[in-house]
Structure 1
């Protein structure tokens, strides 16, 4: 009745959401197993297998590693994603970006060196990573 299985634990981690509220500043490494929303400021490294959303008042200065990221605010540093980077018109991104997919609204600032990587399935159905420069 009270036993936990691994599948239940995975579902629990995927529903975790962290909020860095406006007026909050974090300095150092921030890691989480769940999604993160940033409306404050993070100076340092952000690491999560989940999604990161940076609101209009949000800023990250440092590095970010996640699956997907959605920016309305600012980012300066190294951004490494395994999925999609989405930039709204108010986004301001500077630095280095490695991502699989990129979606940019008109008006966004995107001053970066960018590497696009995509996963391609071969005939046998196995996934291979293809690097595009």
Structure 2
């Protein structure tokens, strides 16, 4: 049976961008519309709308959005001005900053969780500074270091 709540959570409005599963992006994405990522992105993703990260997607960079739904992997900090939903199949290695946060049982979040919108504004300023200094991008992190899962036990 289809979960209607899950269905509506993943809807993207017409005119939204979509990065297919077979596409890899090396560089930042800056959009003024909502979007869905099914492929791989190495760089920051900024949108003033809703962002959906599918089960097959992988983002190695920071995310800035109004709303977020994560089913895939995110290696970087997340800054959401409204609501973030992290599904039971999601893996987030980085801090999550959002006004409202839903985390399903089984989701993995390796980082701090904060409820603070002001952090989003500071983070956007830091991201603009990072764009001027390319050596400080998350892509410079060794892939082995990013993908190693750590445990408290």
> RMSD between aligned alpha carbons?
1.6
Deviation at 1:23, TM superposition (A): 1.5
1:1-133 map, 5 Å: 15-117=14-116
* Count of paired positions: 106
Q: Distance in 1 between matches of 2:116 and 2:44?
A: 22
Which of the two has greater helix per residue? Answer: 2
CA contact (8 A) 2:80 2:117 kept: no
Deviation at 1:112, TM superposition (A): 1.1
Q: Distance in 1 between matches of 2:117 and 2:35?
A: 24
Q: Distance in 1 between matches of 2:61 and 2:117?
A: 24
Any gaps of 5 or more consecutive residues in structure 2? Answer: 1-12, 119-153
Q: Which runs of 4+ in 1 moved over 6 A?
A: none
Q: Residue 40 and residue 100 in structure 1: after superposition, are their counterparts in 2 closer, same or farther (change >3 A)?
A: same
Which of the two has greater strand per residue? Answer: 1
CA contact (8 A) 1:64 1:78 kept: yes
CA contact (8 A) 1:15 1:34 kept: no
Q: Distance in 1 between matches of 2:30 and 2:79?
A: 14
State the SS of the aligned residue for 1:117. Answer: coil
Q: Distance in 2 between matches of 1:54 and 1:64?
A: 10
Q: Distance in 1 between matches of 2:59 and 2:19?
A: 11
Q: Distance in 1 between matches of 2:19 and 2:113?
A: 27
CA contact (8 A) 1:70 1:87 kept: yes
